[in-house]
Amino acid sequence: MQQRHVVFVVFPDALVLDLSGPLAAFELSCETSEGAAPPYRLTVASVAGGLVRTSSGLELMSQPLSGVGEVDTLVVVGGPGVHLAACEPRLLAWISDRAGGIRRVCSVCTGAFVLAAARLLGGRRVVTHWGSCRLLQDRYPDLTVSPDAIYEHDGPVWTSAGVTAGIDLALALIEDDRGHAEAIRVAKRLVVFLKRGGGQTQFSVPLALQAADDGGFEALHSWISDHLDQDLRVETLAERVSMSPRTFARLYAARTGRTPAKVVEELRLDAARRALEETRQSIKEIAVRCGFADEERMRRAFRRRLGVNPQDYRGKFGSIEAGGA
């Protein structure tokens, strides 16, 4: 197999994990039997080369972009310095000039701003860190920015969400090159709990609730997650926190920006998605365990919120080991 040259572009105040996560994935995919040529050649490059100081203060040794030679896959990382990098004329000129001869152009996290500034993302579907999606969309209105995807693949352009999603992107690129079994092997070597697909959410519902809640309902959310198969009407939840149903519903919506019923459904969907991805349980068993009562109610919730039925979701995102209906 022809060796592929993967070049990671860094800049002052780049985020180390945006580089180290995907770099490690490609490195582990280079594990070969003795005497065999590794499938990838890996290079870290910057405009001028030499030491590049990252946002953590750690300095990385890099090669100058002018000397990297032929590139198969270009990966631009993100970090606090990305907006200055997106205004660096030498960087943008090099990317623009070389893009036509590169098989895949990729970004990790906010690295998408550099690709957009180099005019490589026009009209494409892309993603970046969830906290920068609106800025990217406002700054480049011709793009279609996915607010929640792990990664997006549109033609020769691959973009990923925030930070550790760069590992998901690297696994997808390895799978594209070397197959599903190799991507799973690398994921296991990285001790990544689950190889996520691009269409999955950037963060779990409980994490989103923690970010939205200003305090007071964290224990309730934990209790709900442990009792999804029970009666979770407003009256039940209000009694749990010693409030009247009316007061609870008003205060809950004010603090979380969601109604109690919507949160219960989101938590049930989140649990059902994970069960479909990770277990061999039947769809009927999952529906009952997650509180949907029957398959049809869960199917309607999946179609309404995710635009896909549970069986198709499992087919797309379920692991080989979990498999099955």
Residue 213: the pLDDT is 53
Three-state SS at 324: coil
Answer whether residue 117 shows pLDDT above 80.
Answer: yes
Domains in the chain, start-ordered, CATH in brackets? 4-189 (3.40.50.880), 205-317 (1.10.10.60)
Say if residues 200 and 146 touch (Cβ distance below 8 Å).
no
Tokens found for residue 210: 């923690």
Residue 306: the pLDDT is 74
> What is the rounded end-to-end Cα distance, in angstroms, of the chain?
36
Average pLDDT over all residues of the chain: 89
Cα–Cα distance, 269 to 108 (Å, whole number): 28
Please give the average per-residue pLDDT across 87-110, as a whole number.
Answer: 97
Instruction: Place 219 in a pLDDT band, splitting at 50, 70 and 90.
Output: confident
Three-state SS at 109: helix
Say if residues 62 and 22 touch (Cβ distance below 8 Å).
no
**Rounded to two decimals, what is the model's pTM?**
0.69
Question: What confidence tens digit (pLDDT) does each residue in 264-308 have?
Answer: 998 999 899 889 888 889 999 999 999 998 999 999 998 887 778
Answer whether residue 322 shows pLDDT above 60.
Answer: no
Tokens found for residue 150: 């792990």
Question: What confidence tens digit (pLDDT) does each residue in 128-172 have?
Answer: 998 899 999 999 999 999 887 889 999 999 999 987 899 999 999
> What DSSP assignment string belongs to 197-262?
-TTSBSS-HHHHHHHH--SS-HHHHHHHHH-TTS---HHHHHHHTT--HHHHHHHHHHHHSS-HHH
Say if residues 292 and 298 touch (Cβ distance below 8 Å).
yes
